[in-house]
C-alpha cells in the first residue's frame, strides 16, 4: 500500500493492541470530556483511533495528517454551512434533511477530499468530521475549536500509547524511509 510503513506483527497481536490501545485512548478522551463538560468526543474520532493504532506508521495516521485532515474537514464543513445559508440553522437531527443541507454535506465532503489531496494531508476519518459540521451537529466556531481540541488530544494520547509500546509513532510527520540498496 502506498504511503504505508511496515509494522510487522501478526493479526491477533495487532488486533489485541488496537483493541486495548483504542479503548484507553477513547477512555482518556471521555474522561477529559466528562471533567471539562465539553464534547471532546465525537464520531470521527473512532476511525481515527483505529487508524493510529491499527496502522500507526501509515502516512495518514501521522499526527500532521490527523490534525490537518480533521482541520480541513471542519473548515470545509463550516464553510459549506455559510455558503448554503445554514450557519445558524438547527441540526439535521432536529429538523430533517433539507435540500440546502444535502448541498452543504456534499459540498463539504467534496471540498474536504480535494483539499486534503491537494495539500497532501490525507486522513480519511476527516470525511466524517466534515459531515458532523455540515449536518449541524457541531456548527459553531466554538464547536469547531472543541472538535479540534479533541483531535489534538487523541493524537498525542495515541503518540504516548504507541511510544509506550515501542512503536516509533512520529511526533509530527511520517518518518522517511531509507532508500533500499541493491545487493
DSSP for 58-125 reads SGGGSHHHHHHHHHHHHHHHHHHHHHTT-TTSPPHHHH---HHHHHHHHHHHHHHHHHHHHTT---TT
Q: What is the mean pLDDT of residues 112-125?
A: 98
Q: Is pLDDT at 123 greater than 80 in this prediction?
A: yes
Question: What pLDDT is attached to residue 181?
Answer: 52
The answer on pLDDT for 135 being more than 50 is yes
pLDDT for 2: 43
Cβ 149 vs Cβ 164: under 8 Å = no
pLDDT digits (tens, 9 = 90+) for 42-64: 899 999 999 999 999 999 999 99
Residue 74 lies in a domain: yes
Place of cell 504507541: 162
CA distances from 115 to 76, 141, 170 (A): 9, 20, 23
Domain annotation covers residue 156: yes
Query: How sure is the predictor about 161, in pLDDT bands with cuts at 50, 70 and 90?
Result: very high
Domain-located, residue 5? no
For residue 154, what pLDDT band results from cuts at 50, 70 and 90?
very high
pLDDT at 86 over 70: yes
Maximal CA-CA distance, the chain = 65
Asked if residue 169 belongs to a domain, the reply is no
Assess if residue 38 is contained within a domain.
yes
Tell the burial category of 74 from Cβ atoms under 10 Å away from its Cβ (0-12, 13-18, 19+). buried
Name the band, by pLDDT with cuts 50, 70 and 90, for residue 80: very high
Q: How confident is the model at residue 136 (pLDDT cuts 50, 70, 90)?
A: very high
> How many domains does the chain contain in total?
1
- Domain housing 69: 11-164
Please report whether residue 137 resides in a domain: yes
Amino acid at each position: 500500500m502506498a504511503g504505508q510503513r511496515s509494522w510487522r506483527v501478526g493479526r491477533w497481536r495487532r488486533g489485541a493492541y488496537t483493541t486495548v490501545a483504542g479503548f484507553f485512548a477513547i477512555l482518556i478522551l471521555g474522561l477529559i470530556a466528562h471533567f471539562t463538560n465539553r464534547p471532546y468526543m465525537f464520531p470521527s474520532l473512532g476511525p481515527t483511533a483505529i487508524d493510529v493504532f491499527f496502522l500507526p506508521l501509515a502516512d495518514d495516521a501521522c499526527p500532521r495528517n490527523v490534525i490537518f485532515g480533521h482541520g480541513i474537514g471542519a473548515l470545509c464543513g463550516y464553510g459549506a454551512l455559510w455558503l448554503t445559508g445554514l450557519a445558524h440553522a438547527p441540526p439535521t437531527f432536529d429538523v430533517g434533511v433539507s435540500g440546502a443541507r444535502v448541498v452543504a454535506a456534499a459540498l463539504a465532503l467534496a471540498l474536504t477530499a480535494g483539499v486534503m489531496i491537494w495539500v497532501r494531508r490525507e486522513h480519511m476519518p476527516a470525511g466524517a468530521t466534515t459531515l458532523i459540521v455540515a449536518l449541524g451537529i457541531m456548527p459553531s466556531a466554538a464547536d469547531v475549536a472543541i472538535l479540534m481540541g479533541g483531535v489534538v488530544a487523541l493524537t498525542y494520547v495515541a503518540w504516548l500509547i504507541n511510544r509506550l509500546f515501542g512503536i516509533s509513532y512520529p511526533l509530527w510527520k511520517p518518518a522517511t524511509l531509507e532508500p533500499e540498496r541493491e545487493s
